[in-house]
A and B are shown apart, each in its own frame.
Chain A
Amino acid sequence: EPEVTQTPSHQVTQMGQEVILRCVPISNHLYFYWYRQILGQKVEFLVSFYNNEISEKSEIFDDQFSVERPDGSNFTLKIRSTKLEDSAMYFCASRGQIGTGELFFGEGSRLTVL
């Protein structure tokens, strides 16, 4: 069964450092997303990406965040200068069909900012 894969599974970084989280969405999907979940809190939408550009982004997704699809398979989330409050589980998701919210999520990348 096709799946979304994410790397790394866990990253520990110092405050102020840049972090890149990587995702390989399901190959024939066209819509890509990043969500995050702070420990014990809700899953929150960060950004959606379609046709090589950002479709929508949340208030959380400020100038410190960026996304990129550098080739035909990878989808990355970059945090330029991490803050303590960026510590969370980051989920990548992809969607293949129009008209459905059936997102396929990866297992997440846990980011710990010290």
Chain B
Amino acid sequence: GESVGLHLPTLSVQEGDNSIINCAYSNSASDYFIWYKQESGKGPQFIIDIRSNMDKRQGQRVTVLLNKTVKHLSLQIAATQPGDSAVYFCADNAGGTSYGKLTFGQGTILTVHP
């Protein structure tokens, strides 16, 4: 079936570095994409979203890039901090019309070293 997946399962960076987490999606009908962060023992936490009519969206220290040509999504975190250490999931609406029915990728573990 259709799925959202990640290129790299783990990413280790030094504090202050910029981090880039990548995601590939397979459902060409998907038109809404989201990044979530999950800290140990907690539920996923919304970071940023982007619709398919955009290729870039910026938030506070985060930027999401969408390349629909190659079905690729990335999350850039500027000046990564130890508190950014978590599992990061991309998700999409799998071509559906609902914004709440999300298909999640497997996750990338980000470890930030002080």
Contacts and interface: CB of A to CB of B under 8 A. Distances in A.
A27 to B, nearest CB: 18
A31 interface: yes
A56 interface: yes
A76 interface: no
Contact of B43 (A42, A44, A102, A107): A107
Interface string A1-36: 000100000000000000000000000000101000
A99 interface: yes
A101 B102 contact: yes
A106 to B, nearest CB: 5
* Interface SS of chain B: loop
Contact of A101 (B42, B89, B91, B106): B91
Contacts of A48: 98, 100-101
Nearest to A9: B41
Nearest to A56: B101
B25 interface: no
Contacts of B41: 107
A51 interface: no
Contacts of B46: 101-104
A55 B98 contact: yes
Interface string B91-106: 1010010111111111
Q: Output the residue of B41, B45, B91, B98 with the most chain A CB within 10 A.
A: B98
A93 B106 CA distance: 19
Interface of A: 4, 31, 33, 41-45, 48, 55-56, 91, 93, 95, 98-108
